[in-house]
Amino acid sequence: MIKEFELIEWIRQQIPAVDHLRIAIGDDCAVQKPLSGQDLLTTSDLLIEGVHFLRHWTSLYDLGRKAVAVNISDIAAMGGKPLSLFLSLGRPIELGDSDLKELISGILFEIRRHGAVLAGGDMSRSPAGLILSVTVQGCISAGQAICRRGAAAGDSLYVSGSLGDSALALSLLKAGRQPEPFLAQRFHLPTPRVGLGQLLVENRLATAMLDVSDGLLGDLAHILDASEVGAELELADIPLSPAFRQELEQDTTLIELALAGGEDYELLFTSPRGDLMDQLPSEPRVTLIGQIITEPGVRIRQADGALFHCRRKGFDHFV
Ligand code: ADP
Ligand code: MG
């Protein structure tokens, strides 16, 4: 089995020098230069085998990529640019060297893809299951981070991409079925919407924003609570992929996966502008799904005008 320090050296050799780090992997701390005119963003995520993922559902390479992507999605959710990542790893005894290197290669690939760098971490043996803790730091023009508070009555509500694909893929996997490639990709390799987040900041288009990780309704509630407002949604306007629609035709209750499924990693944001779909690039698609109103709570309107009641609740780790 590879020694801890050999592994750190193997990682270190793959990491390019970058401007914002005076000292990278290999010392007691990473030393970063202060960012002039920028605020520093920091976010952390924990992934535990058996809780957040099952190892046999995916390759370790893709698992590594996803661990990074979901973290970077939080940087995107403020409108920031990812800079440095820190990786802490609990290695189960039975995970071989080549598997471990495959995991780390996926992690390094996804970090590079977003123009960031691995700046440090820690490692330990784990008695049961793989544990991954990823911390990402990023930057944003001082004072410009888009928070959950900030939505006002009259704002339009937008979401990027399509919703429910990942939750649908997960429910198929749990039922022992193999999701078709698009759905599988949405679950295994989510794309953090970093470019869109930055564009919204640069053009000062969004008043409140977050990334949808626990389901649209649950995450929307965070914006509404923080902003002390409510929302009205049009059910027919919730963006769905062709693959999702196909499954929905067989089972109409699946719509609840688009409303409260989880792991979409799309950006949900409010804007005083009602015409953003024409102002933003076509990829990722941005869809107007509703309006912010004064009255608290969420009303989901169906095509016939009746209100829709979603029974499924967003994801909560402790219930
Ligand atoms: P310490 O004893 O101070 O915790 P370590 O021996 O754990 O130091 O780590 C040595 C160097 O290797 C540090 O710069 C640390 O950030 C880096 N490092 C350790 N584990 C990882 C990892 N999984 N990914 C990236 N860097 C790591
Ligand atoms: Mg250590």
pLDDT at site 306? 94
Nearest residue (CA) to ligand 1, atom 1: 28
Nearest residue (CA) to ligand 1, atom 4: 122
pLDDT at site 291? 98
Residue 145 has pLDDT above 80, yes or no: yes
| Mean pLDDT across the chain | 95
What is the percent of the chain where pLDDT is above 70?
A: 98
Per 3-state DSSP, the chain is made up of helix, strand and coil in percentages (nearest 5) of 35, 30, 40
pLDDT at site 57? 87
122 close to ligand 1 (CB < 6 Angstrom):
yes
Work out the angle at residue 212's Cα, subtended by the Cα atoms of residues 227 and 314, and round it to the nearest 5 degrees: 85
Instruction: Report, as an integer, the average pLDDT of 204-222.
Output: 97
pLDDT at site 315? 64
Q: How far apart are CA 27 and CA 239, in angstroms?
A: 47
Instruction: Report, as an integer, the average pLDDT of 141-170.
Output: 97
Tell me if 237 sits within 8 A of 287, measured CB to CB: yes
Query: In one letter, which amino acid is 31?
Result: V
pLDDT at site 143? 97
What letter would DSSP give residue 220? Answer: H
Burial degree of 317 (CB within 10 A; 0-12, 13-18, 19+) = exposed
Ligand nearest to the Cα of 123, by number: 1
Angle between helices 60-76 and 194-202 (to 10 degrees): 10
Work out the angle at residue 312's Cα, subtended by the Cα atoms of residues 296 and 48, and round it to the nearest 5 degrees: 110
Residues near ion ligand 2 (Cβ under 5 Å): 122
Instruction: Report, as an integer, the average pLDDT of 222-230.
Output: 97
120 close to ligand 1 (CB < 6 Angstrom):
yes
pLDDT at site 310? 87
pLDDT digits (tens, 9 = 90+) for 228-247: 999 999 999 999 999 999 99
The Cα-based distances of 9 to 93, 124, 232, 280 in angstroms read: 20, 16, 53, 43
Which residues have a Cβ under 8 Å from the Cβ of 125 and sit 6 or more positions away? 90, 91, 92, 93
